[in-house]
Chains A and B, each alone.
Chain A
Amino acid sequence: GENVEQHPSTLSVQEGDSAVIKCTYSDSASNYFPWYKQELGKRPQLIIDIRSNVGEKKDQRIAVTLNKTAKHFSLHITETQPEDSAVYFCAASTNSGYSTLTFGKGTMLLVSP
């Protein structure tokens, strides 16, 4: 089955800095890669996703890149703000009609003012 590794487990940055979280996956058939943000005590919220036919996707301050050959994908957050502090999860799935997501273990991002 699919295995997703996520690094780092904790990331501390100063407000205004950039943050990068990296994930690798094992199943070359995976073709969908979402990122979720989970604030303390809340549900995971989808913030951006990318499909295997695209190499990069941006949405304001966040971007995701995908390298299918190396089987890794990354989340980039620019100009970080204290409200970006949360746990971020990457995931991978194959679109097989019902799509079970395999999640990474999460990265706790702390943005200091």
Chain B
Amino acid sequence: SQTIHQWPATLVQPVGSPLSLECTVEGTSNPNLYWYRQAAGRGLQLLFYSVGIGQISSEVPQNLSASRPQDRQFILSSKKLLLSDSGFYLCAWSGGLPSTSGVETQYFGPGTRLLVL
């Protein structure tokens, strides 16, 4: 079965510091991968998605970037964090092989809670 991991689980960072969040998926190959941000008490904002290695699409212009160096690894980065970057960061996957559900069904990782001070 497929599993998705994120780390770290929680992170407290000062303003202006760099950021690297990692997401990995097991049990599937060539998945679509997504990064979302959820501010406290708010909805889900899609930040980036990727349909393959090295292929990144950005939904919201900001000081964040994403990379997919391996098929099942998705990284969210920032060179300099802002206070407004605080939130709950969720990675999700869909599709992949072997196919167990439609390509559109997304499954979320456990998330990383980021607090920028």
Chain A residues close to B by CB (< 8 Å): 32, 34, 36, 42-46, 49, 51, 89, 93, 95, 97-101, 103-106
Contact = CB atoms under 8 A, between A and B. Distances in A.
13 contacts: A32-B102, A34-B106, A36-B108, A43-B108, A44-B90, A95-B102, A98-B103, A99-B32, A99-B94, A99-B106, A101-B104, A105-B42, A105-B43
Interface residues of B, number: 22
Interface string B11-46: 000000000000000000000101000000011101
A100 B105 CA distance: 10
A97 B43 CA distance: 24
B107 A46 contact: yes
A43 B90 contact: yes
Contacts of B32: 98-99
B44 A100 contact: no
B111 interface: yes
B95 to A, nearest CB: 7
Contact of A44 (B44, B49, B102): B44
B103 A95 contact: yes
A38 to B, nearest CB: 9
Given A43-B90, A44-B90, A99-B103, A104 B108 contact: no
Contacts of B51: 97-98
Contacts of A97: 51, 103
Nearest to B103: A99
B87 interface: no
A32 B104 contact: yes
Given A89-B44, A105-B42, A99 B111 contact: no
Interface string B86-98: 0000100011000
